[in-house]
Amino acid sequence: MGGPKGYGLALMVDILAGMLSGSKYGQEVKTFHQHRGPTGVGVCCMAIDVERFMPVREFRRLVQSYVASIRGSRKAKGISRIYLPGEIEFEREKTSSAEGIELNPGTVKDLNELLERVRSPLRLN
């Protein structure tokens, strides 16, 4: 997301989730991609009374129509589905709950070494 609208949205998120919450903002926020201590990322939660704008039933219909239009968009070559934000994580959580959490071999090795160090009889396969 770029351009003036993206910049404005990023600025508002920074002000609400950073400044207003007492967390870091702007260049003070550290990246998630390199583990170097706390990131300083804050959060902002809002409650909106939809009924003050329109009937909830109408709002749901509009959202469902919007989602259908997004899903019906032309897909890039090799892409079979368009996901909405959070859907991949939601599906991964459902799979993990049913089948267990998938860990890469390096993580399993590290965890088993920690378990051994603390003299736990438990081991991951």
- Work out the burial of residue 81: count CB atoms within 10 Å of its CB; fewer than 13 is exposed, 13-18 middle, 19 or more buried: exposed
Residue indicated by tokens 């996901």: 83
pLDDT of residue 38: 84
Q: Which two tokens stand for residue 78?
A: 């090799």
3 vs 15: CA distance, rounded Å: 18
Selection from 43, 52, 1 nearest residue 18 by Cα: 43
Residue 40 included in any domain? yes
Binned at pLDDT 50, 70 and 90, residue 1 comes out as: low
Mean pLDDT of 23-47: 86
Domain boundaries, position 1 = 1-46
Residue 23 included in any domain? yes
- Asked whether the beta carbons of 21 and 42 are under 8 A apart, the reply is yes
Domain count, the chain: 1
Residue 8 included in any domain? yes
Q: pLDDT > 90: what percent of the chain?
A: 78
Q: Please give the model's pTM, rounded to 2 decimal places.
A: 0.60
Strands (E), 12-123: none
Task: Between 66 and 102, name the one with better pLDDT.
Answer: 66
Residue 2 included in any domain? yes
Binned at pLDDT 50, 70 and 90, residue 92 comes out as: very high
